[in-house]
Amino acid sequence: MKTPVTLLRSFAAITLTFLVAKGTWAQSGCTAYAGNIEVDFGPACLQNGAATLSGTPSPDAVVPPGFTSTYLLSRTNGLIIEQMGPAPSFTVNSVDVWRIHRLVSDPSTLDLDMVQPGTTTIYDLQALTTQGGGAACASISMTGAAAKTMECEEPCMAFASGMMMDSSLICLDQGTATFTATTAGASTIPPGFQQTFLLTRTNGLIIEGIAATPTFTVNSEDVWRIHNLIYDPATLDLGMIDLGVTTAYDLQAQLLQGGGEICASLDISGAPVKTGNCPPACTAGAGTVYTDQPDVCLWDGTAELNAQPAGDAVIPAGFNLAYYLAEGDDPAVLIGISTDPTFTVGSTGQYSIHAFVYDPNTFDPASVVIYGSTVMELNALLMQGGGGICASLDLTGTSFLVTDCTPACDADAGAMLSEDPTPCLVDGTAQLMAVSFGDTVVPPGFTLGFLLSEGSDLVVEAISGDPSFTVDGVGLYHIHAFVYDPATWDPAMMDFGTTTIYDLNATLVQGGGSLCASLDVLGAVFEVAICVPPCDAGLDSTITVCLSDPAFPLFPILGGTPCPGGMWLSPFAEVLNGEFDPSANTAGVYMYVVTLPNGLMDTAFVTVNVLECPDLAPTAKPFAPGRTNSTVSVGTVDCADVLVLFPNPATDHVQITLPSGLSAWGRITLVDVGGRTVNPRVEQVATGTFRLDVRNLSTGVWTVRITSGKEQFTARFVR
């Protein structure tokens, strides 16, 4: 029997076909953007068998109208989706590595009911979106910090919040200065624990004081910090602190957080403050500037930025007013200085103009490295930024966005539709043909071409002037329309077999590049497969006929759905015309061979038994049905004088019934088609009936030969 051909479709290809059926052909204008999710790696402790993991979405996500945000929890580095919800918070109950992802999608084009928790992965879902080469306009945050859960032994619940100081500089008044810090959040003080505050000096964090409130008085110039400490007096004795010697680092080393064994929490960063003899107050004020044209076009390679002073600057005697030009946002880099708030730039981007009031006797503008220093680095030199120079800088300034206002790219590749999305591989090839939706725009001088890509990565394999390609392998293919200007793009620029559709799209204006061209990124989808043939060689059959019966065709004897036009072979591998004549042809196994459309060969067998049937009396009975598994019976026979084998074909055993009157036998031998003789295992089950063990025989046609005196009887069976 032959093995049936089974077709397997990949999960991504099936899903793409589902989306096509809903008419959701994603275009390159998908604006959905999931942003990122920040997650505390932890490890998070499982308490009572559970832990809650939460993420913080970045504020730059783009959720178009009609779209929704869904948060997905994945497990392991395989990103197996375990939970979904409307908020980035999930409760888990096992030790593992987890990630929280944000999905921005249109529920009408991406049905999340198909997600099977514990089976579907983030990679599977991404493959359905335009972000991963699929059809649905959607965006998934694929990366981000992972979170790990673990079983924690006797967790230390003490937590000391951070501290804040209202000022970074406190002036000594008559040799002393008093300062107070405030907590930056809620502390956790377990039962039996206490809260206290430490004063440390210098960056070495030398402990100089301990108090129940975060207020301290000092009498020297130095850098100080106030730290929050939550501790259990039963396990941590503060009397061991030697003021002026012991450091906060020494104390932390005894705590669990510092590698020690004591459960306590110390805010090691503290709230810093500097004390000193303060000079007279700096009265300089940069004021503010504004602009009526924050959006500026770049024409002929240049753009002019104009700001207006608001008139609120304070310029002490001997001080000057100047303006800095900065580029970028975070950080903003200083790229120019002028006494006039007007600058000319030669590239697109984000710019800002900042007013600056300074004393030329204490500050030289040339000391600031243009194209090297940032706005914040300049501010750090000034008193307003913690430095020592009396000057004033407008940190915010007024912003400009410079864009290239050259004519827009009008090329539009439109969309493609496959004529047959599931073509068959016939004689080793398949023809892929696509048609346009009719929305293609080809500007004057431009050319419409078509690209063939292979696989889910959309690797470009060929380019043609027609949307028709011949392929010689099974798998996923796409045909993409491509409108381009031959003066700016040449097919020789492509590395066929390596460059992907995504690589090409990234060079185009539509993909964030600079080349005016249009590419249908999704294209027409094809899944080429080896198709199941409609017919085969049929099913094996057996027939018993009389030597005197007329000739008959073998094809109707086959079972199943045999293909016509095949080739018949005799037991001696001779080619026959498919007709059996009992008086002329040899009894045995006849093979039927057909070639399937996929190029493979299939076979079936018809076993023909020929009996020398005597003339039947009127009372003769038909041939006993228990002695053959014939599908067609020709004539009637009397089996009293023949050797009968059953079942035929056989798998384990063959029952042999001797001719009438022959109850003894001399020898039983088996002969294969090659003439090899085998002495089989035989046991007698009744008078004239024996059972032959054929389990160890090779598959094929075997002849049973029984010798009794001078008589010899033969019959054939199929193993």
pLDDT value of position 592: 93
Residue range 296-345, pLDDT digits in tens: 988 777 899 999 999 999 999 999 999 999 999 878 999 999 999 999 99
Q: Report pLDDT for 136.
A: 93
- How does pLDDT run across 76-103, given as a tens digit for each residue? 989 999 999 999 999 999 999 999 999 9
Question: What size, in residues, is the chain?
Answer: 719
CA distance 382 to 186: 34
Using an 8 Å Cβ cutoff, are 191 and 230 in contact?
no
Q: What is the pLDDT of residues 171-211, one digit of tens each?
A: 888 889 999 999 988 999 999 999 999 999 999 999 999 99
Provide the 10 A C-beta neighbour count for residue 140: 22
| pLDDT over threshold 90, residue 645 | no
Compute the radius of gyration of the chain from its Cα atoms: 45
Amino acid making up residue 241: I
Name which of 330, 340, 319, 305 is nearest 395 in CA terms. Answer: 330
User: What does the alpha-carbon distance between residue 271 and residue 166 come to, in Å, rounded to a whole number?
Assistant: 9
Could you give the maximum distance between any two Cα atoms of the chain, in Å?
A: 145
At position 309, the amino acid (one-letter code) is P
Residue 549 clears pLDDT 80, i.e. is over it:
yes
C-alpha–C-alpha distance, residues 289 and 291, integer Å: 7
Assess contact for 41 and 145: CB atoms under 8 A: yes
pLDDT grade, residue 663 (50/70/90)?
low
Look at 382-386, 571-575, 670-674 and tell me which has the smallest mean pLDDT.
Answer: 670-674
b vs e for 573-606, b when ≥16 Cβ sit within 10 Å of the residue's Cβ?
Answer: eeeeebebebeebebbbbbbebebbeeeebbbbb
pLDDT of 466 higher than 50:
yes
Residue 62 and residue 105 in contact, taking contact as beta carbons nearer than 8 Å:
no
Confidence at 43, pLDDT banded by 50, 70, 90: confident
CA–CA distance, 110 with 492 (Å, rounded to integer): 38
- pLDDT, one tens digit per residue, over 589-639 is 999 999 887 778 899 999 888 877 654 333 333 333 223 333 333 333 344
Residue 695 CB partners (closer than 8 Å, separation 6+): 651, 652, 653
pLDDT of 453 above 70: yes
- Token pair 């004539």: residue: 635
Residue 664 binned pLDDT confidence (cut-offs 50, 70, 90): low
Q: What percentage of the chain exceeds 70 in pLDDT?
A: 90
- Confidence (pTM): 0.30
* 91-95: long-range contacts, CB 8 A cutoff, minimum separation 24: 91/50, 91/51, 91/52, 91/53, 92/50, 92/51, 92/52, 92/53, 92/149, 93/46, 93/49, 93/50, 93/51, 94/46, 94/149, 95/46, 95/149, 95/150, 95/151
Q: Which two tokens stand for residue 527?
A: 């899944």
